[in-house]
Amino acid sequence: MDIIESAIAILKASNEMAAVVDAEFAPVWTGNDAPEETAPEGLIAPDGSTLVLPLEKEAGFRTRKGLTVRVTPLHENGETKGYALRFSKEPPGLPLSDPARMQEFFFAMGRIREHLSGFTQLADRLLTDGFNGISPQQLGHDIKLGTLKVLASTVNLSELSKLMSRESKTECIDASGCLTKIMDYLDPIAEANGCEIVCRLGGEHLTCLARYDELETALLNLLVNAAGYCDASHKFIWVSLSCDAQGYTVFTVSDNGTSADIERITEMSYYGQREYAGGTNETLGLAAVRAFAEKNGGSLEFAPSETGGLTVTLRLPRNTGDGVMTFNMKRMPDIIMPYDRQYCIIAKAFDPFIKPKE
């Protein structure tokens, strides 16, 4: 019995969703509802690259339909004879250890306490001076904005918990329409806060495979993060939508900042695997975007912008026409209430209650 036959016998006995391919990745055996064919270019690594043969050691990938794949080379007499593929529908990433989970929880609660302390300071001011120097309108504004900042952390914590703990139904999303709707309500708020957002959709109407609400939250986090951490006196953000030759819809967000620490930002986007330093911002938004991208078979990458700020690239699989997908043009209401998740995320960088200039 050679190593290929041995691998098939072991996987048959395990009842795993698995397959065995030869050295050229041609199918030899599939079992337990594993995909009949899986080409190397259809397996995506965490950095967004695809599998390149030969693979020397075991590695993890995801298919474009969102399955996790563990690829194990089958070596015999110093030669690669084939590969064993084990498929899983589990959420991306490793389960968080208790210390990692507690560190994330501790840091998030610290950010919430920091925002809540603003209410204490406001109460002290009212007890000491009454309404001297502050109008009821300004008081109401400060309370509403402070509440949104507290809720912002809870929104992204909830989003991360959802992404990492359950499967969700993939839909064929109107990516162009989703980005257009976000700009409809975000652009006036950004302009009122002294930030200009330039949106380029391109000529092609593009779709992607995800969930509408999760895509909207991810894009909002990228746009708000760009504004929040940009150090320019007058902030410009460029967002574009395109597609690549590998079958992905590509969202790109850049800012005109000058001092983005790409290595540190990348590290902080890995939830449960990052180390905190004094004064570090919570960056739950970027961590939620990475979890969303990887869950849907996509990727998240960081690079310097032309000015030295940040360029973020989010790639998501396009609808290839395989299988039956739910097509959803729009589910977001035309009117977003002041304490909905959209406003909570926006409040991380903007004051959504500032009136636009006439």
Q: What is the pLDDT of residue 334?
A: 47
What's the chain's length in residues? 358
- 330 vs 19, more confident: 19
pLDDT computed for residue 226 by the predictor: 93
**For residues 28 and 335, which has the higher predicted lDDT (pLDDT)?**
28
Residue 104 or 279, more confident: 104
Instruction: Decide the pairing of beta strands 171-174 and 207-210.
Output: antiparallel
User: What are residue 254's DSSP bridge partners?
Assistant: 238, 311
Structural domains present in the chain = 3-88 (3.30.450), 98-346 (3.30.565.10)
- For residue range 225-244, list pLDDT tens digits in order: 999 889 998 999 999 999 88
Backbone angle region of 139, left / alpha / beta, with phi > 0 → left and psi within -120 to 50 → alpha: alpha
Please give the residue that has the higher pLDDT: either 272 or 183: 183
d(CA 190, CA 354): 10
pLDDT at 222 over 60: yes
Question: What is the DSSP secondary structure assignment for residue 74, as one 8-state letter?
Answer: E
For the beta carbon of residue 97, count every other beta carbon within 10 angstroms: 11
Residue 146 confidence (pLDDT): 83
Confidence of residue 294 (pLDDT cuts 50, 70, 90): confident
**Model confidence pTM above 0.85:** no
Q: What is the mean pLDDT of residues 17-30?
A: 92
Predicted confidence (pLDDT) at residue 195 exceeds the cutoff of 90: yes
**Highest mean pLDDT: which of 135-139, 312-316, 327-331?**
312-316
For residue 330, pLDDT over 70 is answered with no
pLDDT at 278 over 70: no
Nearest to 175 by CA among 356, 53, 35, 329: 329
79-134 pLDDT tens trace: 999 999 988 765 444 444 556 566 677 677 777 777 788 788 888 878 888 777 77
pLDDT of 31 higher than 90? no
| Band (256; pLDDT cuts 50, 70, 90) | very high
How many Cβ atoms from other residues are within 10 Å of residue 104's Cβ? 21
Cβ atoms of 91 and 295 closer than 8 Å: yes
pLDDT, tens only, 127-182: 888 777 778 888 888 888 888 888 877 888 788 777 776 666 678 888 998 999 99
Containing 313, the helix (H) or strand (E) segment is strand 310-317
pLDDT digits (tens, 9 = 90+) for 40-80: 888 877 666 788 899 988 888 877 666 788 899 999 888 99
The fraction of the chain above a pLDDT of 70, given in percent, is 81
β-bridge partners, 18: 31, 86
Q: How far apart are CA 332 and CA 114, in angstroms?
A: 31
Distance of CA 115 to the CA centre of its chain: 24
